Amino acid sequence: MTASPFATHEVFNQTPSLGDMDLWNDDPALQGAVRAFGRLDNELLKSLAAFGERWGTAEMAEFGRLANENPPKLRTYDPHGYRADRVEFHPAYHALMRERMAAGIHCSTWGPDGKLSKPGAFVARAARQMMSAEVEQGHQCPIVMTHAATGALLSEPSLLKEWLPKIRSREYDPAFQPADMKASVTLGMGMTEKQGGSDVRANTTRAERDGDAYRIIGHKWFFSAPMSDAFLVLAQANDGLTCFLMPRFQPDGRVNALRLRRLKDKLGNRSNASSEVEFQGAYARRCGPEGEGIKTIIGMVALTRLDCVIGALGILRAALLQAIHHARFRMAFQKKLIDQPLMRAVIADLALEREAALALGFRLARAFDHPNDADEAAYARLITPAAKLYVCKMVPGFVYECLECMGGNGYIEENSIARLYREAPLNAIWEGSGNIMALDVLRGVMREGDAAEGLLARLAKETEALPGAHAAIVRIQKEFASANREAHARRATEALAQLAAAAALAASAPPAIAEIYATRRLSGIAGRNYGDPVPDALAEELFPRSFSRTA
């Protein structure tokens, strides 16, 4: 065969495409976390393996690409000029939603009465949530909110009874029609207004009594997944800020008065629709007592914060495995990149950080599996915001470093790591930005001092053999007790998250990993960027724990 007259060169030393992956079997670190903190019996093992294989296919990755390259479109009016207020999604988005709901990620922790469905349900769900977040993040938003909504509905038994059966259905039904005509429902949340998101007490949207129900007048500045079937919304009622359930359709079957003004043009998270909305006397029902809106919706917010952490873990893994894959194939200066001492140090350091985040996230999920245990409740109360601050904030720098491991190829849109980079800051922002998380931890420490002291004592015991742990505890106590404690809250919260991560590693990972993490992070001797060298034998252990496939 003669060479093409147009061939100028042979292509070599480019990394092969990842192709089909196995998100469970190729991730021993994830398996270790589920084993340590969940109930990994044979049935769950089989189910997670099947899930990891399916979500790792090139077909699922392609759905993710298409859903982001074909973002949702707002149809404000129909062709005849009538208000439509509908959002159209690409079929790939629907395919992702269908698969995720079939796996029950929106509901698997809830039994028919809204109580925990079975022991270990949160950890098992976290594994599926993380693996699917490795593939696509935008469609997580309605899944996560639907799952979390039950946390608020628990405050209003009549609403729970009405909505939970359809929340628990695994048959995705995107039809735009009243909930009672549908196989399943999804739910969203409306808290943030133009004049303030973190400070929801500044909400001006008001609620007026209309018989047993209410009419809501006002707006929301961020209102994601607007095609959901109902929303948990905060509005000012007579007795103060109150939580409401606002369905997309009124009881008489007419479309409710939610007017979608426009969709946000976002940095990332393109497959997900985030809208600006006005409520023009929208029908709603009270969820929880009047004036207790924050207390009610916190039941939902705590769960979405947990999912911000778990979703962030998905991004970390997706970026890290690409870096490892690239470094295993790419030659530079006569060696595979993975064998160049400095690249080994960078990737091992990244893998170490991911191990800690993973252990922390799954230890946290375990706390949600024990809602009636006071110690676990204290863990969830303080470590949810601490982990959200620590893990979600690490994502942009982490993805950036992984991207750089791939050189110029990392910066090219065709590589999905570019999409991860745009996605990276989001989990830290929504559901409470970094400072808000630190202030929330501080509030918990101040209001529930005994519970906080008890938690620190337990963490101290769990980390007593680790270098730097004692000094870290003294530092945390000092910063939270400082006269200027608000200004110290970030440092103290990060240190608390690192201590909890070290404890979680000690319980779930090989001892050498917990030890080096503690040495680096608790003693505060780590550099500001990744690349602190680790012993060669440990690097050999870390790489396959993050991504065991080598071919």
Ligand X SMILES: Cc1cc2nc3c(=O)[nH]c(=O)nc-3n(C[C@H](O)[C@H](O)[C@H](O)COP(=O)(O)OP(=O)(O)OC[C@H]3O[C@@H](n4cnc5c(N)ncnc54)[C@H](O)[C@@H]3O)c2cc1C
Residues that bind ligand X (CB under 6 A): 188-192, 196-199, 222-224, 266, 269, 274, 426, 429-436
Using alpha carbons, select from 430, 433, 428, 445 the residue that is nearest to residue 381. 445
Nearer to ligand X by Cβ, of 202 and 342: the residue is 202
Tokens of 166: 């359809």
Residues 23, 25, 26, 29: what is their CA dihedral angle, to the nearest 10 degrees? Answer: 100
Cα 521 to Cα 127, 259, 390, 394, 515: the distances in Å are: 26, 49, 12, 13, 10
Distances (CA, A) of 354 to 27, 245, 413, 518: 12, 38, 24, 14
By beta-carbon proximity to ligand X, the closer residue of 24 and 93 is 93
Nearer to ligand X, 198 or 280 (CB): 198
Cα separation of 470 and 500, whole Å? 13
The smaller minimum CB distance to ligand X, of residues 107 and 189, is found at 189
Q: CA-CA distance, 230 to 102, in Å (whole number)?
A: 20
DSSP 242-293: EEEEEESB-TTSSBPSEEEEEE---SS-TTS-EEEEEEEEEEEEE-S-TT-H
Q: Which is nearer to ligand X, 297 or 405 (CB)?
A: 297
Smallest gap, in angstroms, from Cβ of residue 241 to ligand X? 13
For ligand X, the closer CB: 377 or 436: 436
Q: How far is the CB of 426 from ligand X (least distance, A)?
A: 6
Q: Write down the least CB distance from residue 415 to ligand X, Å.
A: 23
Cα end-to-end span (Å), the chain: 30
**Taking the complex as a whole, how short is the minimal distance between the CB of residue 438 and ligand X, in angstroms?**
8
Closest contact distance (angstroms) between CB of 224 and ligand X is 3
In order of 52, 270, 426, the CA distances from 62 in angstroms are 16, 15, 22
Distance of closest approach, residue 236 Cβ to ligand X, in angstroms: 15
In whole angstroms, the minimum distance from the beta carbon of 268 to ligand X comes to 8
- From CA 1, how far away is CA 50, in angstroms rounded? 44
Q: Which residues of 296-308 are buried (b: 16+ CB within 10 A; e: fewer)?
A: bbbbbbbbbbbbb
CB-wise, 258 or 526, nearer to ligand X? 258
In the bound state with ligand X, the residue whose beta carbon lies nearer, of 146 and 274, is 274
By three-state DSSP, how is residue 462 classified? helix
Specify the residue, 431 or 515, whose C-beta has the smaller distance to ligand X: 431
Q: Helix, strand, or coil here: 290?
A: coil
**CB 254 to ligand X: min, Å:** 24
> Closest CB to ligand X belongs to which residue?
197
* Cα Rg of the chain, angstroms: 24
Output the smallest distance, CB 513 to ligand X, in A. 32
Task: Indicate the length of the chain as a whole number.
Answer: 551
Cα gap 167→170, rounded to integer Å:
8
**Which residues, in sequence order, are bridge partners of residue 240?**
237
